[in-house]
Structures are given as C-alpha cells and as structure tokens.
Amino acid sequence: MKLSTLWTRIRTAGFYGKRLARRPVPVALDREGEVRALLARSPFGITDITETALPLYDRALTHRSYVNHGEYPVATFEDNERLEFLGNYVLDFVIADHLYGEYDLPPGEMNRRLQVTRNTKLAEIVRRQGLGIDAAVRGHGQAPTDSIVADAFEALIGAIYLDRGLDVARGVVLAIFEEEIAECDTHRNYRGRLQEFVARENLGELEYAFRQTGPGNCPVWAARVTVGGVPSGEGRAKTKQGAAMLAAKEALGRFGEG
C-alpha cells in the first residue's frame, strides 16, 4: 500500500472517529432528573440547564469504566477524562487567582495552599459537604474511589465553565472551598480561632446548629454557635461551612476577640 494511501485512510478514520466520539447520546429521563437535581442544589444552584448542555454534565459524571463496559458504543459516548483535564486547570486558576488577589503571599506559600485541590482532598470535600457527586458518578464494577470522585468533581467544574463561563465557575469553586481557603489565613479562620479561645478560657462546650432556608434550588444555610450552652453568634451563607464561619466571627466579636 502506498504511503499516501495509508495516510489518507488514517486521517479519514481519525476524522470520523472524532466526529462519532463527540456525538451526544440522549440522556435517559431518570438520569436527567438525577443530574438536574444534583446541579440545582447548593452550592451549584444551576436550574435552567438546556437540552444541549445536559449531555455535557452527564458526561462529567461518567467514569471510563462505564463507557468501556459496553452499555454504549465507545464511538458515540464519552467519559469524563477530557472534562477532568479542563476542570483541573479551571479549579487551580480560580484558587490561585483568589489567593493572589486576597492574600499577600510569596509564590512558595501560594503553591502550598493550592494543595487543597489535590485529589484526596477533593474527594474528602465532596463527601464532607454532601455535594452528591460520589453518588451520581457512573462507573462499572467498583465503588467510587477517591480518585474517581475527585476526577468527577473536576470534570463537573469543567462542564460548568464550558456551559456558564468563568464567573459562575468561580462562584461555585469559592463557595465550596471557602472553609479551606479561610483556614489558610490564621486571622480569617474564625472557627479555629473560636475553638482555641473557648478551650483556652475554659468556657465550656462549643456547638453549632444549622437550618436551611430559601427555595430548594437556591438554599441558604443559617448557623448558630453556642458556647457553654449560651447562644453566642449567628451567620447565614450559601453553604454550611460559610454560615458557621460567620457565626464564629460574630461570637469572637462578642468575646472581644474579633
């Protein structure tokens, strides 16, 4: 076979393979409901997903083991690896940009604080905050590992960026990471400071109580902190962590430690 003929066939096969791989597969109704419900929850708050964008979010929550198992032809269905690659850089950029703008830190310290986005940390955050990604990710033959959950998280950030743009992606990322970011700053880590103060002054038990208000697609969390059984501070935010941080800040102010 002539080299020119072989090259033509390779290019043709690659072209059609690429076209087929990017053809969206219709999302089943039950899966559509699951994806829409996940994204409607705080801190995502995305409710008006178009039919065109829905397969993008579905793909973000699909591990390669599900695709390779054969429930869909590989040529017509994609996993989340490409979106995970994009989301990883969007996530790191948003955190780095926030650190650069809000904190006067040397490069080495900013790089250390970026470690909150490493895979094991991402999976921990997903589960601790109840984001629901670990339950929604599709795979085959294994429970979602930390790596699978982290990759799906990053892929979802990539999908949000593609569908809604950088500003929306930034808002979601900062809402999710606000506690981790605050912990990087000893002055702004109000929960940590309150815990240390209460223990140092032997003021009794420190407890947080939470309640959720607002519509289901855009909830607001309210937190109340009590010290030694006495209500000492309240806070409201889009996430439980943010509300608790504001409640602790108010409590510190009342104790003269603000």
CATH of the domain at 217: 3.30.160.20
**Do 175 and 195 belong to one domain?**
no
Integer angstrom CA distances of residue 165 from 78, 158, 160? 22, 10, 7
What percent of the chain clears pLDDT 90, i.e. is strictly above it?
A: 40
Higher-pLDDT residue of 71 and 121 is: 121
- Which pLDDT tens digit goes with each residue over 77-124? 688 999 999 999 999 999 888 888 877 777 877 887 777 777 778 999
Q: How many domains does the chain have?
A: 2
Return the SS3 of 222: strand
Query: Do 30 and 11 have their domain in common?
Result: yes
Mean residue pLDDT of the chain comes to 80
CA distance 41 to 35: 10
Same structural domain, 172 and 203 = no
Kindly report the CATH number assigned to the domain that includes residue 12: 1.10.1520.10
Q: Please check whether residues 204 and 105 belong to one and the same domain.
A: no
Look at 148 and 3; give whichever has higher pLDDT. Answer: 148
Q: Say if residue 120 is in the same domain as residue 222.
A: no
What domain range is 47 assigned to?
3-183
- Are residue 161 and residue 194 in the same domain, yes or no? no
Whole-number pLDDT of residue 112: 74
Q: Which pLDDT does position 117 carry in this prediction?
A: 79
Distance of CA 69 to the CA centre of its chain: 27
CB atoms within 10 A of CB 228: 13
| Shared-domain flag, residues 15 and 85 | yes
Q: Over pLDDT 70: what percentage of the chain?
A: 78
The model carries a pTM of 0.66
Are 149 and 71 a contacting pair, CB within 8 Å?
no
145 and 234 belong to one structural domain:
no
Contact at 8 Å (CB) between 57 and 39? yes
Question: Cα(98)–Cα(102) distance, rounded to whole angstroms?
Answer: 6
- The pLDDT score that the predictor gives to residue 19 is 34
